[in-house]
Amino acid sequence: MRLHIIFFSALGMTAAGLAIAADTKLKPSLPSQPGVVTTQPVKPGVTDDKSGFTVFPFDLTVSLPNPMNGTVAVANIGLGPTPPRPLLYLTCRRVGYTSRTDANAGCAPPPAGLSPPFVWGDDVVSIPIYIPRLQPGGKYVHTLPFWSTLRWESGSYEFRAVVQQLGLDKPERVTANNTASSTLTVPQWNQPDLVPVLNNPMDGTLIVRNDGLAAAPPTRLRLRCVRTSGQDNQSRMCATFIPIPPRYARDYYWDSRPQYGDYMYMNIPALAPGATWRLPQAFWSSLRWASGTYSFQATADFDGVVTETSEGNNPSNYSTMVIP
Distance CA 208, CA 203 (A): 16
Q: With a cut of 50, say whether residue 31 has pLDDT above it.
A: no
Confidence of residue 122 (pLDDT cuts 50, 70, 90): low
Phi then psi for residue 126, to 5 deg, are -120, 120
Choose the weakest-confidence range: 6-15, 41-50, 115-124, 315-324.
6-15
Confidence of residue 19 (pLDDT cuts 50, 70, 90): very low
- Higher-confidence residue of 249 and 259: namely 249
Confidence of residue 17 (pLDDT cuts 50, 70, 90): very low
Distance CA 133, CA 127 (A): 19
- Percent of the chain clearing pLDDT 70 (strictly above): 66
- Answer yes or no: are the C-beta atoms of 309 and 97 closer than 8 Å: no
Task: Decide the pairing of beta strands 36-38 and 139-143.
Answer: antiparallel
pLDDT, position 218 = 95
pLDDT, position 113 = 61
Structural element, H or E, at residue 135: none
Residues 146-204 have pLDDT tens digits of 888 777 777 788 999 998 876 666 677 778 899 999 999 887 667 899 999 999 999 99
* Segment 4-28 mean pLDDT: 35
CB-CB neighbours of 305 under 10 Å: 13
Distance CA 280, CA 39 (A): 66
Choose the weakest-confidence range: 29-33, 49-53, 220-224.
29-33
Phi then psi for residue 262, to 5 deg, are -120, 155
Residues in the chain: 324
Phi then psi for residue 74, to 5 deg, are -130, 130
Confidence of residue 311 (pLDDT cuts 50, 70, 90): confident
Q: With a cut of 60, say whether residue 230 has pLDDT above it.
A: yes
CA-based nearest residue to 35, from 7, 59, 70: 70
Q: Is it true that 5-186 and 194-323 share their CATH fold? A: yes
pLDDT, position 15 = 33
CA torsion sign for 243, 245, 248, 249 is positive
Please give the full DSSP string across 137-205, using - where no structure is assigned. Answer: T-EEEEE-TTGGG--PPSEEEEEEEEEE-TT-SS--S--TTSEEEEEEEE-STT---EEEEE-SS-SS-
- Answer yes or no: are the C-beta atoms of 6 and 164 closer than 8 Å: no
Distance CA 220, CA 268 (A): 6
Confidence of residue 121 (pLDDT cuts 50, 70, 90): low
Domain spans of the chain, in order of start:
5-186, 194-323
Residues 6+ apart with CB under 8 A from 7: 118, 119, 120, 121, 125, 126, 127
pLDDT, position 69 = 92
Distance CA 237, CA 66 (A): 51
pLDDT, position 167 = 63
Q: Please, is 24 exposed, middle or buried when counting C-beta atoms within 10 Å of its C-beta (0-12, 13-18, 19+)? A: middle
CA-based nearest residue to 164, from 136, 129, 132, 123: 129
CATH of domain 194-323: 2.60.40.10
Q: With a cut of 70, say whether residue 130 has pLDDT above it.
A: yes
* Segment 204-225 mean pLDDT: 93
Structural element, H or E, at residue 213: none
pTM (predicted TM-score): 0.50
Q: Which CATH class is domain 5-186?
A: mainly beta
- Higher-confidence residue of 54 and 17: namely 54
